Each structure stands twice: as C-alpha cells, then as structure tokens.
Amino acid sequence: MFFLKKFISYLILPPGVFVIAFLLIALLSKKGIVRKLSLISALALYLISTEPIKDALIYPLESEFKRANPKEAQAIVVLGGGVYNSGYLKSSSYKRLITAFLLHRETGLPIILSGGASIERIPEAKIMKQLLREFGVEEDMIYAEVKSRDTKENALYVKNLCKKIGCDTVLLVTSAFHMGRSMESFRKAGLKVLPYPTDFRFDGRYNLYSLFPKYSALYDSTIAIREHIGRLFYRMAY
C-alpha cells in the first residue's frame, strides 16, 4: 500500500504529471515531428527528475573543492543565495549563513555578508545581518555590502570592503555547486580566498524510489545545469 501511494503521488504531481502529458501527446498525435518532440521532452524531463541523473550533473560541481582550514583566514565571507520579497531568506542563504555562524563561533573571525537586490527588492545581506544579530553576533563583527547583483560583483565589492578593514585572506562560504565560479571570480578580483563549501545536494545512494521523477531532483538538476552554463559564460566573458 505504501509503495502504491508513493507511486501514484509521483505520477499525479509535477514533474511526473508532465512526463505523462508528453507521452500522451506523443501517443495521440498524428504528426511525426510532434510525436518525436514529445517523446524527447518526456525522456529529458524524466531523466533530469531522477536522483542518479541529478547527481551526475551536480557532482562535478560539488566535488571540485574541499573545505579549507578556517584558522588560515582573516574573515569569513558569505555569499547570498536568494531572498523572498517577504523578507525571508531562501534555503541556500539560510544554509550558508548557518555555516558561517558556526564558523564564527568556532574561530571568532568577523563575517562579511555579500548580496544586494538583483531581482528581489530586498538586499540579501541586510536580512542576513539581522539574523546574525538575533543569533547573538556582535555588531562590530559583521560587515555587509548590499550592492552586488551577481558573483562577479560579489568579489569586487568584497575586495573593496576587505581593503577598508585590512583583510587579504578570506574563507569563502557558499553552496558547494556554486563554489567553482565563486573561487574563479574572487581570485580574478585579486583576493586570497580559501573554500568552505556547504549546502551539498549530492545523494550517492539509491533505491527504487530514486528512479521516480521528483520535483526536488528536477530543482537540483536545474541548479546544476544553470551553474554549468554560468561557469562557461563567466570564462568566456571575464
């Protein structure tokens, strides 16, 4: 009964329902091109919605950097991972911020928050700073820049802030899938940067349910595909 309940839920909820819709279109369509496109769409959507394919996409991004020794840094830099216009951080931002808070509690290093309002109306760094104050971090241990709109600008604005506070070696905290592009940007900006990835998405262990299409796997696959494209763009443009 449990398996049947799970199986049905995967079929009637996105993305499973859309996979079925594409298959029905392919089955009912009389035009060859429509049938082929529908089958390709169904297969592609199904594959990137399964955990093994999601892992294959995200593992190369997450495995590139190991965590450095925090004691070698002079400050902790946290990159924003998104904020809702309601004023609440998105999950990636929370995970990055909690990691930085624990590192601060362990090392006593100051925290530099980086994140402006790119698409959202509220700067990410502003919300993160409010949370750190609620966690008990002293005001003079928090620095925030609220102008950056992307990873390249994160690096440039953090570099300027580091000059003001006399810091040249930073421990970079961001999602593991985002670490590669972040390290490239910070190094090109001229900062000595040590990686400290968090927010890992790789599973690595599978069962029968891993082959069912899931929204969580589709979401992570989308993040991985976007990051691969982003890294290619950064290398070409910068």
* CATH number of 102's domain: 3.40.50.620
Instruction: Please name the residue ranges forming H helices in 137-214.
Output: 151-165, 179-189
Beta strand 169-175 with 142-145: parallel, antiparallel or unpaired? unpaired
What is the structure's pLDDT at 74? 98
Strand order in the sheet with 111-114: 142-145, 111-114, 75-79, 169-175, 192-198
173 occurs within a structural domain: yes
Q: Are residues 48 and 78 in the same domain?
A: no
Q: Are residues 77 and 193 in the same domain?
A: yes
Residues linked to residue 112 through DSSP beta bridges, in sequence order: 77, 143
* Torsion-angle region of 108 (φ positive above 0: left; ψ -120 to 50: alpha; else: beta): left
Q: Are residues 229 and 117 in the same domain?
A: no
What is the structure's pLDDT at 238? 74
* d(C-alpha 49, C-alpha 46), whole Å: 5
* d(C-alpha 176, C-alpha 156), whole Å: 21
What is the structure's pLDDT at 65? 98
What is the structure's pLDDT at 120? 66
* d(C-alpha 68, C-alpha 220), whole Å: 25
* d(C-alpha 117, C-alpha 26), whole Å: 43
Q: Are residues 148 and 191 in the same domain?
A: yes
205 occurs within a structural domain: no
Q: Are residues 109 and 189 in the same domain?
A: yes
207 occurs within a structural domain: no
* d(C-alpha 122, C-alpha 232), whole Å: 29
108 occurs within a structural domain: yes
Q: Are residues 120 and 90 in the same domain?
A: yes
* d(C-alpha 226, C-alpha 222), whole Å: 6
Residues 6+ apart with CB under 8 A from 33: none
Measured distance between the N- and C-terminal CA atoms of the chain, rounded to whole angstroms: 55
What is the structure's pLDDT at 30? 86
38 occurs within a structural domain: yes
Alpha carbon 9 to chain centroid distance? 27
Q: How many domains does the structure of the chain reveal? A: 2
Q: Are 114 and 142 in contact (CB under 8 A)?
A: no
In order along its 238 residues, the chain shows pLDDT tens digits of 887 888 899 889 999 999 999 999 999 998 999 999 999 999 999 999 999 999 999 999 999 999 999 999 999 999 999 999 888 999 999 999 999 999 999 999 999 999 998 776 789 999 999 999 999 999 999 999 999 999 999 999 999 999 999 999 999 999 999 999 999 999 999 999 999 999 999 999 999 999 999 999 999 999 999 999 999 998 888 7
Q: Are residues 23 and 98 in the same domain?
A: no
Q: Are residues 80 and 144 in the same domain?
A: yes
Host domain of residue 40: 2-62+212-237
Q: Are residues 194 and 79 in the same domain?
A: yes
Q: Are residues 30 and 84 in the same domain?
A: no
